[in-house]
Structure 1
């Protein structure tokens, strides 16, 4: 560190994860005083249970979607179709499990392959055809749920046969090392993604395409390929989330699967400090943002807030954190406070 570098605490305060972390800490402190049982952890049959574990378990889908959404937004795009891709993934898995005798690994590969194809379609529409990301992904958002309903024959496919349900049930309801298996899934996905984008040139390519696509092409970066790849990765993340969702209820509910999850994923990414304009991104910030939103929802449900009312305080918290991340807003507030 040179003499001109700011101290570590100043770099931390100026980082994109500072305010989401402060909001999460404030929420946890509020729970510590108002509902101490929020931090109670129980061990039953070698498994951990408690509100904190529920936050990680129920927030796993949002975290997985936020990981994929982060890379899409970093390229200057957005993916509104992740909820519909979740429905498609669950529908493919449930149909193969109930109507065929395919081995379980083949079922998982088929469901995730369908998700990758959906993501590739989004990527081609955005990068090759040149459709605006919000319009291109809106097409699959609308049509994808219809495709999922066609796959299931417009009915809910229940998984009740003991011959195939235990392995599938483990995805959303199993435990590994005492924690829900969903926690293991999002931790592995997050670490693998973080390793790839920060220890290889992939992250630099994504940021370059998001900051200036024309300049990135001029220096030899295949901008079209990068965009298709990130949309495919977002589709893969949505496919994994769809398997978790279907496994949680042991059924493929194409009407309710993944509804509004795309908005929560975008909120988590924005709260985590990644700009919708593209360029620099923070996977860690998106992780914190997703955990913050799920902690807020769990807190509200603990205090009996109705699910129909819950989006209002959630929106207020998102707005507040985003304003705190704005240098202009902080200067304006602190200048008035000083005056």
Structure 2
């Protein structure tokens, strides 16, 4: 019983259970769901497709995780994805050989967006949702100005390989996402930055009074989120071979926030889990795949996604976990005798 209570209390248990249940549902509908085959030297199959499609969301969600951990929010990430793709496509439209310049332009827009959000939140003192809402609205307009309101095709092979190419038979976007996960994990787990971010999220006033330069750290977190969004914009535009200022990254900010919360990160700040965020992103992408594969009508897809997210979020709440634990104590005889034995010892 103690083992069950410990498992139920672990923040990653419900995301893992949700992902397993979705996988079982897909297997029930398609027995070859987990099969992976080699075709023309590349790995193909539903799991590879899910990982490939989830890569931009994973990268954006990493930046969103750190922002939320500082009691912030960034709802402009979808717009930054669109701006980054539009900036890269604009450069490549003039000269397809300027792949390096296109990447620099995309990353530069991400840095600029992060600096803008960070200045408003950390130094001006504006509420994070309002500060990022400004860029969410204006950023979509900036992306459309860059593209002239048109979809700009991208044909540079050196750029397209990032989102549509393969390395060692695995999509390059998956490798890039893995590199982003590793770099972020090293940053927050092997340096004092992770501790500082948690401290700011728990009590920003106390950390400031303790001498920690919390404003600079919050500013850096928003810049990091902007860069992560730009990388996702590069992968997204490369994968679809075009830049669309109107639809690129649309509603991605909502999926990123859902991925973060499904992974166990607290919206109140101070507690975050990168592993949980990655699981949350995979849940959302797997759920999207599942709804299409089992024949859910496109107009009902968002409703189904919302219902699943609601159920998982409710199960993850502390109140529901306590109710489950009390129910198990009533059902399992060992649960009633265990505390008495432990007390006598």
Indicate whether the TM-score tops 0.5: yes
Aligned to 1:173: 164
Deviations along 1:165-184, one digit per CA (max 9) or x if unpaired, are 10111011000111111100
How far off is 1:12 after superposition?
Answer: 4.6
Is 1:49 aligned to residue 44 of structure 2? yes
Matches within 5 A, 1:39-188: 39-100=34-95, 103-160=98-155, 165-188=156-179
Deviations along 1:88-113, one digit per CA (max 9) or x if unpaired, are 10111011111247732222112101
Aligned to 1:3: none
Q: CA RMSD in A?
A: 1.8
The 8 Å contact of residues 5 and 325 in structure 2, kept in 1 or not, is answered as: no
Count residues in correspondence.
Answer: 330
In the alignment, structure 1 segments of 5+ residues that lack a partner are 1-5
Matches within 5 A, 1:281-296: 281-296=272-287
Is 1:229 aligned to residue 220 of structure 2? yes
The equivalent position to 1:208 in structure 2, one of 199, 205, 213, is 199
The 8 Å contact of residues 96 and 102 in structure 1, kept in 2 or not, is answered as: no
Report the Cα distance in structure 2 between the residues aligned to 1:319 and 1:95, rounded to whole angstroms: 40
Report the Cα distance in structure 1 between the residues aligned to 2:2 and 2:297, rounded to whole angstroms: 45
Aligned to 1:220: 211
Report the Cα distance in structure 1 between the residues aligned to 2:271 and 2:210, rounded to whole angstroms: 18
Aligned to 1:330: 321
The 8 Å contact of residues 42 and 50 in structure 1, kept in 2 or not, is answered as: yes
Report the Cα distance in structure 2 between the residues aligned to 1:142 and 1:151, rounded to whole angstroms: 15
Deviations along 1:109-143, one digit per CA (max 9) or x if unpaired, are 12101111101100111111111111110000000
Deviations along 1:172-198, one digit per CA (max 9) or x if unpaired, are 100011111110010010011001100
Report the Cα distance in structure 2 between the residues aligned to 1:216 and 1:270, rounded to whole angstroms: 24
How far off is 1:31 after superposition?
Answer: 2.1
Deviations along 1:242-299, one digit per CA (max 9) or x if unpaired, are 1111111211110110000000000000000001110011000000011011111111
The 8 Å contact of residues 116 and 232 in structure 1, kept in 2 or not, is answered as: yes
In the alignment, structure 2 segments of 5+ residues that lack a partner are 332-345
Report the Cα distance in structure 2 between the residues aligned to 1:20 and 1:109, rounded to whole angstroms: 36
Report the Cα distance in structure 1 between the residues aligned to 2:324 and 2:275, rounded to whole angstroms: 27
Report the Cα distance in structure 1 between the residues aligned to 2:199 and 2:260, rounded to whole angstroms: 18
Distance 1:182 1:49, change over 3 A: same
Q: Secondary structure of the residue that 1:43 maps to in structure 2? A: strand
Distance 1:49 1:201, change over 3 A: same
